[in-house]
Structure 1
Amino acid sequence: MNNRSNMVKIAVVGGEGIGPEVTAQSRRVLNWFAAKRGVPMTMREAQYGIIPYLATGKVLPDDTVEAMGEADAILWGATGGPETKEVPAARKAGSLLGLRSKYDLYANLRPIVANPALSDSAPPKAHVLKGVDFVIIRELTSGIYFGEPRGIETLVDGQRRGFNTEQYTTSQIRRVARSAFELARTRRNKVCSVDKANVLETSVVWREEVIALHREEFSDVDLTHLYVDNAAMQIVREPAQFDVMVTGNIFGDILSDCAAMASGSLGMLPSASLGPVDKFGRRKALYEPVHGSAPDIAGKGIANPLGSILSVAMMLRLTLNRPEDADLLEKAVDVALAVGARTADIAEPGAKKLSTMEMGDAVLSALEKVAGRERERA
């Protein structure tokens, strides 16, 4: 029996829209690993969004703040959905951007993997997707989303003006670039840094600091640079060329959604947001699918839970330090897709469309099969 003091604490926050639906399937997967593989973890459910707001006046109630504060990892669903006129200000006060800043979750990892089983449903052509397996690391707590000053003002001539500030410091750039170089050393040893240094001073500093860090500490890693507009084109034209891509907040936001099409659907894309390593070697982490709340399909039971389930695979690898279990889960997803498990967003014309729950069933069934094969080989 595991010592409870050694358990990894996980806060499960389904949130809004389709978030609770997909997170429920991830929770089933986590329960499977706890029961069948002895993964040492405790889970605590917590609420976020319109439901707790109507009960407490807070989108992020005190119980949820406590649960996330004590957690080693947060499994997040989605934010955004139906609102009363009072909610927008409350939502801003408890926003996901605010949580990223509070926990200093500066490195956002988004793996882009083209699954051969989905070649017919992915928008790019099959030959373009062959061998696609790269990671976008997006700087998550700085840049234009956090820079000051920002606001909306009325000019003396009556026109309205909106303004935001894009800014980066040496330390902000270097720590996320270091994450990229370190990850590349465990993969194919290539980093592509994306900026707009031909126009933006912020990007000039970005590129210079990445080059300096590379020269000082990571000269063994192959480093290239692309302007963001060219990077977007290359992701569509030849995504297999990339191994690790590192970029700023707004560029990473846009490029990762573009790259998601290589995986067949935004519903397939997981992510991990990592904070700094503390003196005990631990780092706060938030795991979430990239797809958002999708309020148009919320409550219909048709959302794709694989982005959330694959986020659990990232949690197994990065927080729970269980790479074999992470591999097992990823193999199970591959097996489920290979035998034709499809939700509506990844279904080929005429294919049977599974519900969210049925896709969860398919992954759990595949887990049993893959685990059984491993036991036989052992």
Structure 2
Amino acid sequence: MTQLQKPPAPLDPSQSPQWSLTSEGNNPLLTLRGVWLARTGNIPQFPKDGLRAAPAGSTITFDMSPITDWDTGLIAFLWDIKRSGHDRHITLDAQSLPAPVRQLLELLPDASDGPPPPPAKRLPVLERIGGHTISSLTEIGTVTSLGGMTLRGGLQALTGRSRMRLSDLLSDTANAGPQALLIVGIVNFLIGAILAFVGAVELQKFAAGIYVASLVGIAMVREMAAVMTAIIMAGRTGGAYAARISTMQGNEEIDALNVFGIPTSTYLILPAVLSLVITMPFLYLYGCLIGMLGGFVVAISMLDITAAGYFHQTITSFGIGQFIFAFVKSIVFGAFIGLTSCRIGLKAGRSAADVGIAATRAVVVGIVGVIAIDAIFAVIADVLGI
């Protein structure tokens, strides 16, 4: 059975909390007596004009010797006095308070917070769309300007006048190239195998199993190898670049570079972008070969075709123009991933949570941007008849 709590026993009227303000020379004296316990519900409310008799600029001293017991109810009462005297420049003599009371009261601000700001007015739909459009165009212009500065830094690097360090370029290239071969190879091998399996199931119905090689070859060369490799690099390397630069932002390393007059576009962004521009075409070629190998393994195991026949059908299914077109596309993917990731890192906040937000945003923007750019290239390819 649940026992109900008994209400606190009423205090003796002689022990109820009381206060009085008297003058002692130029400084007022506040005397407190009784039991100041919040649970009794008898804590008096200090009036807003309770200090009208105290001269401005004076210091209130306290006499708390008559108090027999107290808790946070006393602190709340003293805080009301502290806030009331703030506007009139009346201070409290902390030395006349007991040490525990003084320590708790010093944790509280001198003045109350102002009224909460009014809720933000919800803008009309068209105005919100226009605002997002303007901010998006502004961001596109900023990234374009950053790309221009990076390109100029690259041209200066060819003449030996760039602030870029060769060690940074080699480190970023090794991270974006050789260290990414495993994940790029696994994904493209599985993509090629899946394409071959789906194609074999359908083409066998028409006794056209040999065209599985053409299906895998064209798909890998034109689209899948470049797009899948770019998506992998956006998630693996683009997110790492954004996290690295946002961490430097939080550690004020970017501010230090600006103070010393070292441009971030050539010192930080140029090696990151160049590493992706250099490695992406080679990763694309590597992804094409591995994807065709995956299709070859599945086709040989499922269809009655020879390795020589598969190889011959593969190399005759596409021309060098498609290779060149996808090669250029992979370079654009690399530059886009590098620029957007570095830009997101530069505009990130300075807290630890902002590092994760920047990395996540870089991955999302990279993947969506790669697919959007690939759609643009598909239209260009159709116009050029490739």
Q: TM-score, normalised by structure 2?
A: 0.21
Structure of larger gyration radius: 2
The answer to which structure, 1 or 2, has the higher relative contact order (CA under 8 A, 6+ apart) is 1
Q: TM-score, normalised by structure 1?
A: 0.22
More strand as a share of residues: 1
